[in-house]
Structure 1
């Protein structure tokens, strides 16, 4: 009997509100990913943090295909948001850093927090009206 993969409901990013009803999609993600936050990507994909696997998940809802981009040794990403620059901005408690994933180049840049903020316990970030994280 085939083992079922864990499921993640990404309803927050996929609900299409019509006048009478909303639809929810559910997708399989890799076993042990322990997805945490989700955010829409500018190209229609959906980003999620694979907290237990130290990765950014990228789901294509049109094809149900997904992949995970490793964020570095010791990574334990918590939140992901789309920044005003169209990049994925990730708070990573394992790295104790802010991580940026550029969806065009797939470059990853990491900004470690100061040493005296080792136990910051980062959560989901936000940008203000001026585009400041």
Structure 2
């Protein structure tokens, strides 16, 4: 009887560990939030060299700027039907945004608010997510155009490569230390790498056919970390060994990980958008374990995030109309 009871107890423990029940994690982070008076789905904030925070008003067709010290908000108009989807800021403080609905990448001069448009080729209608390379040129994904492209910021020239499979949906994008752009293909179970010189595209299958990666980050060791939105997994791909490793998200199977960022210590911050309110979880890439989970008070979906190295803060927008940051409690 004792052996039977021990067997049943072990069986119960095994089942509990593999049932997909949400992991109980402490909240080690603090959230600060600013409500945006114009609404319009504020998203994708990015910190400028002067500490001001710029963001897209995607649905409202504007670019906004937040002074985190005073809370002051400033609005900048962009061309009609731009519906800016993402922005990044260069070392001179110039703001570059993706005109997602009318096929351009725009550059805003902060002092004047002047917008310069860089038109896309006819085949690309929807620049999506932007990232700088080591020469301050911009690599971008174009989800519905099924392409990954590069804008030469000095000449305005655009080159691009099309994914091999229709409706691959290139989505999140990042550049590694070798100046190579990587993208996740949301319509497939693949990640992709572009040769920056030849534009040759290499597509890599993820371990599970039903995976649908939505965002990615790259750690200093050049490992590729991706969020499987459909499967609720965090995955790592090592380009040197071509090996994969995957972890169930804390709210598996209802995590739907979306926005991602990596901090100076290699900790990966991931928004669980399958939860309401969304939860911000932290994965320590050295310990290979989730260490924190924090609910976001304002509620709605967190689509993209950026990291401010100077202040050690993660910035993100929330669909309910907020610009927010999060950092470890100090």
Deviating more after overlay: 25-34 vs 37-46 = 25-34
**8 Å Cα contact 1:81/1:126 also seen in 2:** yes
Q: Does 1:127 align with 2:113?
A: no
**8 Å Cα contact 1:87/1:103 also seen in 2:** yes
| Structure 1 Cα separation of the partners of residues 41 and 109 of structure 2 | 23
Deviating more after overlay: 58-67 vs 78-87 = 78-87
| Structure 2 Cα separation of the partners of residues 41 and 64 of structure 1 | 15
- Cα–Cα, structure 1 residues 30 and 94, in superposed 2: closer, same or farther, change >3 Å? farther
Equivalenced residues, count: 111
Partner in structure 1 of residue 62 of structure 2: 55
Q: Does 1:43 align with 2:45?
A: no
State TM-score, norm by structure 2. 0.32
Write 1 or 2 for the structure with the bigger share of strand: 2
Q: Let me know the Cα RMSD of the aligned residues.
A: 1.6
| Structure 2 Cα separation of the partners of residues 62 and 78 of structure 1 | 25
How far is the alpha carbon of 1:43 from its aligned partner? 1.6
Partner in structure 2 of residue 96 of structure 1: 103
| Structure 2 Cα separation of the partners of residues 31 and 55 of structure 1 | 9
Partner in structure 2 of residue 67 of structure 1: 74
Partner in structure 2 of residue 27 of structure 1: 34
Structure 1 gaps of 5+ residues are: 1-20
State TM-score, norm by structure 1. 0.75
Structure 2 gaps of 5+ residues are: 1-27, 139-330
**8 Å Cα contact 2:49/2:92 also seen in 1:** no
Partner in structure 2 of residue 117 of structure 1: 124
Q: Does 1:83 align with 2:93?
A: no
**8 Å Cα contact 1:81/1:124 also seen in 2:** no
**Greater C-alpha Rg:** 2
Q: Deviations over 1:18-38 (max 9, x none)?
A: xxx754311010243201211
**Would you identify which runs of 4 or more consecutive aligned residues in structure 1 move more than 2 Å?**
21-24
| Structure 2 Cα separation of the partners of residues 32 and 61 of structure 1 | 18
| Structure 1 Cα separation of the partners of residues 65 and 59 of structure 2 | 15
**2:115 aligns with one of 108, 111, 115:** 108
| Structure 1 Cα separation of the partners of residues 38 and 135 of structure 2 | 39
